[in-house]
Amino acid sequence: MEINIVPYLKKKVLLQMKNAKNIIGLMSGSSLDGLDIALVNFNDQNPQALNIISVDTFSFPDSLSHSLSLITKSDINTYKQIEKEFTLFTLSSIQNFLKKLPSKDIDIALIVNHGHTILHKPEDFYSLQLSNHQYIASQLNIPVLGDLRNRDICNGGQGAPIITIFDLDFFPDTEICINLGGIANLSIKGEIINSFDVCLCNQILNYLANQLGLPYDNEGSIGIQGKFLPHVFDLLNQMDYFSKKIPKSLDNSFSMYHREILNRFNRENIADLLHTYVHHIAFQLSKYIAQDATIMITGGGGHNKFLVKEILSYSKAKLLYVDSVLIDNKESIGMAYFGYLYLLDRINCIKTATGSHKDTISGIYYNP
């Protein structure tokens, strides 16, 4: 299967082809940086390929980021108000995204809206994502696929990671696909494919950078200057989650535990804490990476040169370099593919990845 990043002059032709399905994928990550949107073109006559028409990221306003960071402490009325704010932001972002396209006469078959994860509790049979899917479908007059995780969870799975099928179908020769988002997760291919959350990533790195008045540590340029703090490293690695067997997944609330640990060392230099946390991430990932394995790294953390360097140092793996479009937008592109499989009535959630009792066609379809 192949992925094509479409040149501008070809976009309009592809968008208006017969037998084509144009699908929008949305992803709002736990690092609270913004909403990723991808428009992907699929042709039923050649389902082995996808064409990336356009990608963009819409940054959250500071007020929305702040509200989302505190939402688990909110009462029901405040929660619904934040959901309204997030839904309107999502709607506006899609509308602005569509305005930038080379053709205004485009048939969008589906919007796959992940929403913003608030609570992820597979042990209690639910994963809660913020967004009013029906409102977006009704306002845009485009069907929306939402609530992507709960069918898998109710069949005994973790409901995460959610786009393992994308790794399996489009990167069959890459042994391990790593995504460095707010949470670091990976897919390991063997006789079966296993996917799971490994540890926190940009949620904590950004939290530390924020204390310096920065949104993130650009390319790891601050962390690389720090020094290793073995006492902090040891504490970070003592969490019970790290000895838990797969399949497993992390809730965003897990970040509070590591923030509390780091806050105990608030007299330490922030560069030293960043440096040590990068070592923690690399160490945890390396436990699942065979020496000389071929790995692909995507997600915002893929631009952190210090983090990538340490992952390779700990694991002795071989890095497959990919286009920056894929590094930054793999999850939103994967969401579009998830929705395409849904429209084809094909499995989009794999039981060996999540621990479910069965493969499923997941998501709830909202008509306009």
Q: What is the pLDDT of residues 251-309, one digit of tens each?
A: 877 888 899 999 999 899 999 999 999 999 999 999 999 989 999 999 999 999 999 99
The mean of the pLDDT values for the chain is 92
Q: How many angstroms separate the CA atoms of 269 and 258, rounded?
A: 17
Residues in contact with 246: Cβ distance below 8 Å, sequence separation at least 6, in sequence order: 194, 196, 355
The tens digit of pLDDT for each residue in 6-58 reads 665 455 556 556 667 999 999 998 878 899 999 999 988 776 788 899 999 99
Residue holding tokens 């797969």?
Answer: 246
Domains of the chain by start residue, with CATH: 2-160+329-366 (3.30.420.40), 164-325 (3.30.420.40)
At residue 112, φ and ψ (nearest 5 deg) are -100, 110
What is the identity of the amino acid at 44?
D
Strand 49-59 to strand 2-5: parallel, antiparallel, or no bridges (unpaired)? Answer: parallel
